[in-house]
Structure 1
Amino acid sequence: MIAGLTGRTQHRKRRLLQGLFFLLFILAPPLNILRFDLYANNLVLFGQNLDLGFTGFQYGFTPSSEVILNLIFKAFLPLAAAGILLIWSAWRWGRLYCGWLCPHFTMVEGINNLMLHATGKPVIWEKAPLPLQQPNGKTLKTNTWYWLLLVTLSLGMSFVWAVAFLTYAIPPDVVYYNLLHAQLSFPQFLFITVVGIALALDFLFARHLFCRFGCSVGLLQGLAWMANDKAMTIGFNRSQARDCQECNNACDNICPMRLKPRTLKRKMFTCTQCGECIEACTQVEARRGKPSLLKWVAGDCATHKTSGRDHDQNCF
C-alpha cells in the first residue's frame, strides 16, 4: 500500500487525495451525496431520499417501532460499518484517514506552512524558531506579510466550513439563496457565526492540538493502531543513527503534529502517517549520497518501534 510510495511521489499523491476529499466534504450536500434534511426529516444518500419515518411519527401514522427499525437499518448499521472499516484500517496502517483525507488536517498543514514563512515557527506555541535550512538544502526566508495570507485563509475557510456544516442539515439551495440575498434566519446566522468563530480560533491557535487531544475519530484510530505491534509505522535505522548528528533534526521540524518520528511508537500515538518526516530525511541524506534513515515498515520490522530493541538489518 503506502509503504511502496517514497519521496515526492508520496507527497503528490497525498496532496491530491487531500484536495479531492476536501472538495467532497464541501460538495457532498449540494450534490446530494450525503446530508440530513431537517425540513423533510429524511436522510439523503447518493441522491436517494431515505425516509426515517420522523414526520409520520410526528403526525401519528407511523409507529415508533418502524422509526426504530429505520434508524437501525438506514442510519446506525451503515455508520457502524463505516466505523468498523475505519478502525480496521487504523489497526493495519495507522491514522491514514487523518493524514491522507481529513479536511481538518489539510488545514493544519496549510496554515502551519504559512506560519512557518511568517514567523519561522509552524505553530505559535513553538518555543523557538526552527532552523532556516530546509531538508532540500534551501534557506527559508521569513516575511511578516505571510500573516496577512494566514489570517485571511483562516477566517475565509472558517466561514466556508461553517456554511458547509449548515448545508449538511438544511437544504443547500436554501442556505445559498439566503446567503446571497442576505436573508439568513436568526438560527442560521447564529450557527454560522458561532461555528465560524470557533473554527477560526482553532485554525489560528489550536489546530494541531485539536488533532492530538480533541478529535474522537483520531483517538479511536490511535487506540486501534497501538493495539497492533506489527502495524505500519515509521521505522528508524538505528544502526546509522550517527548520521543524524550532521542533521538539524529535519524530521522533527517537518512533522505537522510536532512529534519526534525517531522515538518509540507509544510516543507517536497521534502520528497521522503523513510521511513528511520520511521525505525530509530522504532529501537530507540524498545530499550526502546516502539512503533515508526513515522508511515505512510493517510486520516484524515494525516491532522495534514498540519494544525499543534493535531492528533486523534486513528491514533496512
Structure 2
Amino acid sequence: MGFFALFLVAPILDWLRFDLNQTQLWFLGQRWSLGIDDFLAGRLSANEAALSILLRAFLPAILLIATFLGVAWRYGRLYCGWLCPHFSIVETLNQTLHRASAKYSLWDRKRTPRADRAPQRRWWPLFFLGCVAFGFLWSITLLSYLLPPAELWSRLFSGSSTPNQARFLAIGTAVFTLEFALARHLFCRFGCAVGLFQSLVWMANPKGMVVAFQRSKARDCRSCSTTAFPDGAACDGGCPMRLNARNIKRMMFSCVQCGQCLSTCETSQTAHQREPLLTWQIGADAVAETLRQRRAELDADRQPPSQPRSHRPPTTTEVP
C-alpha cells in the first residue's frame, strides 16, 4: 500500500513523469535531458551528444532492466507480491468480495468459507464502488504521468477537461473497472507483461527461491486448520493467486512470492506445536526440492494400477 501511495504521488511531486506538453522527462524533481536540444543549438558536439544519450538513456535503462530481471531470476515475482500497486488493489478487492459472497472471484463456482467471517450483502455496494473508484484513480494517475498533474486536476474539478482528456478518463475508468471487477486474477496471471517476464526468468532458474513442502510430514496436513479455515487446506485459502502452495514449481508459474501461504501454515502448525510444513528454499536447497518433486512424480507414475491409492507415496496433488 505504501508503494501504491508512491505510485499516486510520484507524478505530482515530479519524481517520475514525462510531460507531453514540454516533451520533457522529470526524475526526482529534476529535468532529465538527453542533450539533444543542446546539440541542435550547437552547444554540444555530435560525440558529446552521443555520449550523453548513452549515459542518460541506454545505460540507465539497461541497468534497470538487468537489476529487475536479476531479482526475478533469484527470487521470482518479488515485485508483484511486495511492490506492485495493482496487486495491492487486487488483494483489497479480494477481501471485500469475500466479505460479500464468501468468494474471491465472481467466477468461482464454490464458496471459500471462513469461520471468522460470514458473507454479508452490505459489502456488495462497497465492492462495486471500490472497482469504480480504483478504476478512475488508476486512469487519472496514468494520465498524470503524461500531463501536468496540477493542470489535469484543476480542469477536472472545474469541468473544463479537453475532449481527449475526457475520453481517456472515461475509457480508462471503464476498462479498469471491468478488469478489477471481473478479471483481477486473470490479468495478474496472463495479462501483465511485467509479471509474465518475471515468471519466465524465474522458471528458467532451478536455484530460484521456491516454497518447499515437507512431503515426509504430509499427514500433518490432515489437521491443518486456523481460526479462519477450520476445515483444512489453510495455505490454499491464504493464497491470493488461487494456487495450491504444496504444488510443484512448474505448477506455480504465477506465484507472486507474497508468503501468505507460509504465514498461514506457520499459524496452523504452531497451534499444534509442530514445525511449519512450508518453507522458503533457495540455491542448492531449491534444486534439491525440484529433484524431490520429480522423484515423487516418477514414483507415482511407476505404481501399478492395482495398488491401493492409500499406499502410494503422497504426491503434491494428493496431499489431504
Q: Structure 1-normalised TM-score?
A: 0.84
Bigger relative contact order, structure 1 or 2 (CA pairs below 8 A, ≥6 apart): 1
The aligned counterpart of 2:306 is none
The aligned counterpart of 1:40 is 22
AA aligned to 1:125 is W
2:175 maps to 1:198: yes
Residue among 152, 162, 180 paired with 2:157:
180
2:237 maps to 1:253: yes
Residue among 273, 276, 294 paired with 1:292:
276
Supply the distance in 2 between the matched residues of 1:194 and 1:84 (Cα, whole angstroms). Answer: 34
AA aligned to 2:7 is F
The aligned counterpart of 2:253 is 269
The Cα shift of 1:82 comes to 1.1
Percent identity of the aligned residues? 40
The Cα shift of 1:115 comes to 1.0
Supply the distance in 2 between the matched residues of 1:147 and 1:107 (Cα, whole angstroms). Answer: 16
Supply the distance in 1 between the matched residues of 2:165 and 2:203 (Cα, whole angstroms). Answer: 41
Task: For residue 130 of structure 2, give the secondary structure of its aligned residue in structure 1.
Answer: helix
Task: For residue 39 of structure 1, give the secondary structure of its aligned residue in structure 2.
Answer: coil
The Cα shift of 1:88 comes to 0.3
Unaligned runs of 5+ in 1: 1-18, 134-138, 311-316
Supply the distance in 2 between the matched residues of 1:261 and 1:70 (Cα, whole angstroms). Answer: 48
The aligned counterpart of 2:32 is 50
The Cα shift of 1:79 comes to 2.4
Supply the distance in 2 between the matched residues of 1:119 and 1:235 (Cα, whole angstroms). Answer: 32
The Cα shift of 1:305 comes to 4.1
- 1:103-142 alignment, distance < 5 Å: 103-133=85-115, 139-142=116-119
Q: What CA deviation, in whole Å up to 9, does each residue of 1:83-114 have, x standing for no partner?
A: 11110001111111000000011111111111
Unaligned runs of 5+ in 2: 225-231, 297-320
Residue among 77, 83, 95 paired with 2:77:
95
The Cα shift of 1:50 comes to 2.1
AA aligned to 1:231 is G
Task: For residue 112 of structure 2, give the secondary structure of its aligned residue in structure 1.
Answer: coil
Supply the distance in 2 between the matched residues of 1:273 and 1:224 (Cα, whole angstroms). Answer: 14
AA aligned to 1:157 is F
The Cα shift of 1:68 comes to 7.3
CA contact (8 A) 1:261 1:277 kept: yes
Distance 1:29 1:67, change over 3 A: farther
Size of the aligned set, in residue pairs, is 285
Residue among 128, 138, 142 paired with 1:161:
138
- 1:165-244 alignment, distance < 5 Å: 165-244=142-221
Supply the distance in 1 between the matched residues of 2:235 and 2:37 (Cα, whole angstroms). Answer: 55
Residue among 27, 38, 56 paired with 2:9:
27
CA contact (8 A) 1:22 1:103 kept: yes
Distance 1:305 1:117, change over 3 A: farther
Q: What CA deviation, in whole Å up to 9, does each residue of 1:257-281 have, x standing for no partner?
A: 1111101001101100000101111
Distance 1:127 1:304, change over 3 A: farther
Asked which structure has the greater CA Rg, the reply is 2
The aligned counterpart of 1:278 is 262
Q: What CA deviation, in whole Å up to 9, does each residue of 1:250-300 have, x standing for no partner?
A: 111221111111010011011000001011111221222222111111122
Task: Name the stretch that deviates more: 234-243 or 290-299.
Answer: 290-299
The aligned counterpart of 2:64 is 82
CA contact (8 A) 1:266 1:306 kept: no
The Cα shift of 1:54 comes to 7.2
